Amino acid sequence: MKNYLTESRGLGPERIVIVDGGVASCLSQELWIVPPNSAPKPREDAYDNSYRPSVYKFDDHYYRIGNDPAEIIYWPTAPANLVGYLESFAETLLKDRKLIGYLVAFRQASHDNPQVTKRMLRTERNFLIREFRIEPWRLKTVDGGYRPWRTMELWIAQPGYRLIITSYRIDRVQRRR
């Protein structure tokens, strides 16, 4: 929502404050206009959800390769939208400095080589470090193997736990002739 308001509607990012309203009976987002240095009143039907699994999948997204094989592009749009997309993942890691973020890249089964996942992981990890100041030691990268499409999964682990990925492999790939 913040990305839409800043890029499509022209609002300055300093004018938009994101507030986690807790957990409610349904998924919703609200826009509030408030005076500077104030906050909206929390919803009455929101409740605290302090339960967090030890390791959980936060989200995933897809990649495509541009005309230049060295160019990896966030799909379905340009890399500029990666900021908004990864913002909530970064904010979750920044809220609790003990959490570890895992980036798990899967290459496309039909024709990608291992270098593709290395570039995907390097690009996204460096982006999180540069844009959101995530400490490098808190971001772990994993080559997940193959999937039908280039995919990046974002996982979060509590201290003392680690992510174990079993890769999705295709032994034989049929190509069109």
Identify which of 19-33, 73-87, 124-138 has the greatest average pLDDT: 124-138
Q: What is the pLDDT of residue 17?
A: 77
Q: Is the pLDDT of residue 176 over 50?
A: no
Q: Please state the pTM of the whole predicted model.
A: 0.64
In which band, very low, low, confident or very high, does the pLDDT at 71 lie, cut at 50, 70 and 90? low
DSSP assigned state of 7: I
CA distances from 155 to 130, 165, 170 (A): 19, 11, 23
Please give the average per-residue pLDDT across 122-134, as a whole number. Answer: 91
Provide the residue count of the chain.
177
Amino acid type, 31: L
Q: Is 160 left (phi over 0), alpha (psi -120 to 50) or beta?
A: left
Pull the structure tokens for residue 60.
């995933």
Q: Report the distance separating Cα 139 and Cα 121, nearest Å.
A: 10
pLDDT for the residue 65: 59
pLDDT of residue 140 exceeding 90, the answer is: yes
**Mean pLDDT score of the chain:** 77
CA atoms within 13 A on the CB side of 146: 13
Confidence of residue 116 (pLDDT cuts 50, 70, 90): confident
Calculate mean pLDDT across residues 47-73.
69
The angle formed by the CA atoms of residues 151, 154 and 160, to the nearest 5 degrees, is 140
Predicted confidence band of residue 133 (pLDDT cuts 50, 70, 90): very high
Domains annotated on the chain, with CATH: 1-51 (no CATH), 52-164 (3.30.1330.60)
